[in-house]
Amino acid sequence: MNNFKKLCVHTITTKPWSIEVAMDKYVEAGISGITVWRQWLEGHDISKVGDQLRERNLEIVSTCRGGFFPAKTQPEIDTAIEDNKLAVREAAELGAPMVVLVCGAVPGQPLPDSRKQIADGIAACLPLAEELNVKLAIEPLHPMYADDRSAINTMAQANDVCDHLDHPLVGIAADVYHIWWDPDLETQIKLTGEKDRLFAFHICDWMTPTTDLLNDRGLMGEGCIDIPSIRKMVEASGFKGFNEVEIFSNRWWERDQDEFLAAIKTAYLNNS
């Protein structure tokens, strides 16, 4: 890599920055794409934010996040589906082609039951997604989140849900943090290529030791993940999209965010 044409940054990566600050800083840094977390749109005229991003030639890669479909009761399930429809409408309003789904899980509920609720929930959103032409990207989450964040913990499980739904708007967001250990990684990534369903590729790193289950992700190169190898698999499968930097890190959020953004660019060139 010798440029930033495929570099995208998630607004949550530079959490201290508002959407207004983030978009200017990203452009100034020569970053090409942005994934907007929905919290960054709260209280905003969403279509206007979309215009501002387009005026700056920042490509809107996706919004984060929908999902959390599983629940114990039907009213909660219905509420989750409504929120996902809202996420689809917001994406369309912003001009984002895709919503990333953190699919959800309910502590104590059998994982296969949650997977069925996930598939049903996505299916319920598909008519609106078709109408607005918004893709839905299932992000398999690391098994340490199988209790309450996602019952979809491997690439194979994500591919299974996609097979079941069999719809061109349903695909996968592959995040190295979640899948680097996956026992069947290469085969399953290849399968996403054959089925034309790898919609997104997220990068960061796994710290040793990891001191927090949520907010101790590393910058690429700080941890143990062989990102170039996974990127090679992803590109070999035909993926031509962005490399999206999605880092939740209390450590980095405490630092100067301009320095962090500069470090992201260096790490992207050297360790991705």
Q: Which is nearer to a copy of itself, 52 or 215 (CB)?
A: 215
Q: Would you give the DSSP letter of residue 44?
A: S
Q: Shortest distance, CB of residue 262 to a copy of itself, whole angstroms?
A: 24
What are the structure tokens assigned to 5, written together? 């044409």
Q: Shortest distance, CB of residue 69 to a copy of itself, whole angstroms?
A: 17
Spatial CB neighbours of 147, under 8 Å, sequence gap ≥ 6: 105, 107
Q: How far is CA 136 from the centre of its chain?
A: 10
Contacting a copy of itself within 98-117 (CB under 8 A): 107-108, 110-111
In residues, how long is the chain?
272
Measured CA to CA, the distance from residue 149 to residue 211 in angstroms comes to 19
Strand partners, 151: none
CA angle (11, 224, 197) in 5-degree steps = 55
Q: Shortest distance, CB of residue 210 to a copy of itself, whole angstroms?
A: 6
Q: Shortest distance, CB of residue 272 to a copy of itself, whole angstroms?
A: 15
Answer yes or no whether residue 76 interacts with a copy of itself by CB under 8 A: no
Contacting a copy of itself within 124-163 (CB under 8 A): 142-144, 146-148, 153-154, 156-157
Question: What are φ and ψ of residue 215, in 5° steps?
Answer: -115, 40
Contacting a copy of itself within 193-232 (CB under 8 A): 206, 208-211, 213, 223-224, 226
Q: Shortest distance, CB of residue 40 to a copy of itself, whole angstroms?
A: 24
Answer yes or no whether residue 16 interacts with a copy of itself by CB under 8 A: no
Q: What is the dihedral of CA 41, 46, 51, 57, to 10 degrees?
A: 30
Q: Applying CB under 8 A, which residues contact a copy of itself?
A: 107-108, 110-111, 142-144, 146-148, 153-154, 156-157, 180-181, 183, 206, 208-211, 213, 223-224, 226
